[in-house]
Amino acid sequence: MATNEDQKQTESGRHQEVGHKSLLQSDALYQYILETSVYPREHEAMKELRELTAKHPWNIMTTSADEGQFLNMLLKLINAKNTMEIGVYTGYSLLATALAIPEDGKILAMDINKENYELGLPVIKKAGVAHKIDFREGPALPVLDEMVKDEKNHGSYDFIFVDADKDNYINYHQRLIDLVKVGGVIGYDNTLWNGSVVAPPDAPLRKYVRYYRDFVLELNKALAADPRIEICMLPVGDGITICRRIK
Ligand code: SAM
Ligand code: CA
């Protein structure tokens, strides 16, 4: 939902990143990052998808341009080839992934909503990377349950991005830890949850922020205590926790 402040920024040519797209306390600094290093290097298809998504009523869900750039870089740094994404929406992070992995790379992409994926799909096709994507419509958990039953899926993923129902992140983690390879990475998105993880109990939070906050707090504690992973929580976007499987 655009606030008066957002409106003012749009009018004055400032960034139009929607929703809580940065936890940086300085809006000017965020604008600087976008203008100096993100927008000038953004793939034209990423720009097209970002602009298309900005017109969609649920645009608050999209991954921000700076986080898209970060994911793209991370995937290349770890030479990711076999990847998974839970929570696709119109596909901005999916496209960042598809553009980063090699020609024969794969993304198993899951979302309960196919319509939104189909909104972005023409842009993904135009970018020539749709062949890397295996989209499954439906809840991710049953798919993961099936996958863990088969030993050959164990340790087979280089990178997994989780950006869906926050109340299931712990359940996802229990399964994904078997599916990601040792040395591979799982990224959990929105782990600073609009900054609400440090909000006082009586803070006036939006209903959905308040509802999911406890799940995010639980997840953060569980990840920090999990000896099977090394972690790094980054204040990019709405917070992303990078987990590297070590055993
Ligand atoms: N990564 C996306 C992007 O870059 O635009 C944003 C994903 S959005 C924050 C969360 C998505 O999770 C929604 O599209 C929603 O339909 C999906 N979702 C919610 N519950 C789900 C579930 N149980 N299984 C799979 N996807 C789910
Ligand atoms: Ca997100």
* pLDDT tens column, 194-209: 889 999 888 888 898 9
Q: Is the CB of 89 under 6 A from ligand 1?
A: yes
Tokens of 39: 């927008």
pTM (two decimals): 0.92
Residue nearest atom 23 of ligand 1, based on CA coordinates: 139
Q: Does pLDDT of 37 surpass 80?
A: yes
* Chain center to CA of 17: 15
CATH number assigned to the domain with residue range 27-245, chosen from the 4 options 2.60.120.590, 3.40.50.12780, 3.20.190.10, 3.40.50.150? 3.40.50.150
The domain ranges of the chain are 27-245
Q: Does residue 97 have its Cβ closer than 6 Å to ligand 1?
A: no
Alpha helix (H) residue ranges in the chain: 4-11, 27-33, 44-54, 65-77, 92-100, 114-126, 140-149, 169-179, 207-224
pLDDT band at 17 (very low <50, low <70, confident <90, very high): low
* Predicted-complex ipTM score: 0.99
State the ligand closest to the CA atom of 112: 1
> What is the share, in percent, of the chain residues with pLDDT greater than 70?
91
In contact, 85 and 94? CB cutoff 8 Å:
yes
C-beta 95 within 6 A of ligand 1: no
Q: Which listed ligand is nearest to 59 at the C-alpha?
A: 1
User: Is the model's pLDDT at 7 over the cut of 50?
Assistant: no
Task: Check pocket membership of 140 for ligand 1, CB cut-off 6 A.
Answer: yes
Q: Would you say residue 151 has pLDDT above 90?
A: yes
